[in-house]
C-alpha cells in the first residue's frame, strides 16, 4: 500500500489539532487526521496505507486522540526512526501497529510498500528493495494486533 512520508518531530497537534479534539468518536477522529497540516492526507488516505517518518514521531501532548485518529483513518502501521515516549505507548495500547526503522530515507512519498513482520522487513515495491525494521517482541505485537490493550486483556492476558 501507499507510503505517506513525513519529516522529523511530527507532533500530536499536527496529527490532531487541539480544537478538533473535543470528540472521542473514532470515525470523526479518522476524518481529521492531519486535516490542517496535510489536508490531502485526510482526503485521500486509503485503508492499509502507511505513515513513514523520521525521528521523534508523535511528540507533544499525551492525547490518545492522535493514534486513534490515525488508526481510524485506516493507517495500517506507522514506521519511523523513533517515537515520542507517550505516543509510542498509546499506539500499542490503542492497537495502532508501529515499527522502528533506521532507514526510512529509503522510502519516498507515494512509494508502494508492504511489511513482512515475520522477517522484520519492509519491502519497497517501487524501489525493489527490502529494508530492515525492528519489530517489538511477540507479546507487544499481540497487543497491537488484537486491537489494543483493552481488547487484548478481554480475551487474553500477559504470560
Partner 1 sequence: MSQTITEKILAHVSNKKEVFPGDYVVSDIDWIMFHDSTGPLTIKGFEDIGKRICNKEKIVTFFDHFYPAPNIEAAKLHQISRRFIDLQGLNNHHTDGICHQILAEKYVKPGNVVVGADSHTCTLGALGSFATGLGSTDIAGVMATGKCWFKVPDNMKIHYTNKLKKGVYAKDVILKTAGLIGSEGADYFAIEFSGDYIKSSSISERLTMCNMAVELGAKNGIIEPDEKTLEFTGNQGLFFKSDYNASYEKEFSIDVSQFGPQIACPNSVDNVKPVEEVAGTPIDQAFIGTCTNGRLDDIEIVARILKSYKVKQSTRLIVIPASMNVYLRAFQKGYIQIISSAGGIISSPSCGPCIGRHNGVLADGEVCISTQNRNFNGRMGSPKSMIYLSSPASAAASAITGEITDPRDYL
Strand spans (E) along 6-157: 50-53, 77-80, 98-100, 113-116, 121-124, 129-132
Q: Alpha-carbon Rg of the chain, whole angstroms? A: 15
Stretch that binds partner 1, among 15-23, 31-39, 116-124, 142-150 (CB under 8 A): 142-150
Nearest approach, Cβ of residue 6 and partner 1 (Å): 19
Size of the site for partner 1 (CB under 8 A): 25
- Tell me, residue by residue from 107 to 136, as one string, x for binding to partner 1 by CB under 8 A and - for no binding: -----------------------------x
Among 35, 89, 126, 147, binds partner 1 (CB under 8 A): 89
- Tell me, residue by residue from 37 to 76, as one string, x for binding to partner 1 by CB under 8 A and - for no binding: ----------------------x--x-x------------
* Start-to-end CA span in the chain (Å): 34
Strand spans (E) along the chain: 3-5, 50-53, 77-80, 98-100, 113-116, 121-124, 129-132
CA atoms of 58 and 77, how far apart (whole Å) = 13
Residues that bind partner 1 (CB under 8 A): 59, 62, 64, 84-86, 88-90, 92-94, 136-137, 139-140, 143, 148-150, 153-154, 157-159
Amino acid at each position: 500500500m501507499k507510503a505517506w512520508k513525513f519529516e522529523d518531530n511530527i507532533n500530536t497537534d499536527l496529527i490532531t489539532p487541539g480544537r478538533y479534539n473535543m470528540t472521542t468518536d473514532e470515525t470523526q477522529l479518522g476524518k481529521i487526521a492531519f486535516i490542517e497540516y496535510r489536508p490531502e492526507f485526510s482526503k485521500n488516505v486509503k485503508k492499509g496505507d502507511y505513515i513513514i517518518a523520521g525521528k521523534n514521531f508523535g511528540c507533544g501532548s499525551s492525547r490518545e486522540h492522535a493514534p486513534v485518529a490515525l488508526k481510524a483513518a485506516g493507517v495500517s502501521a506507522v514506521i519511523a526512526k523513533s517515537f515520542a515516549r507517550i505516543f509510542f505507548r498509546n499506539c500499542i495500547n490503542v492497537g495502532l501497529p508501529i515499527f522502528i526503522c533506521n532507514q526510512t530515507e529509503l522510502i519516498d512519498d507515494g512509494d508502494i510498500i508492504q511489511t513482512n513482520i515475520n522477517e522484520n522487513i519492509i519491502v519497497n515495491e517501487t524501489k525493489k528493495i527490502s529494508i530492515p525494521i525492528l519489530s517489538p517482541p511477540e507479546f507487544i505485537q499481540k497487543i497491537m494486533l488484537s486491537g489494543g490493550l483493552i481488547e487484548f486483556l478481554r480475551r487474553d492476558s500477559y504470560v
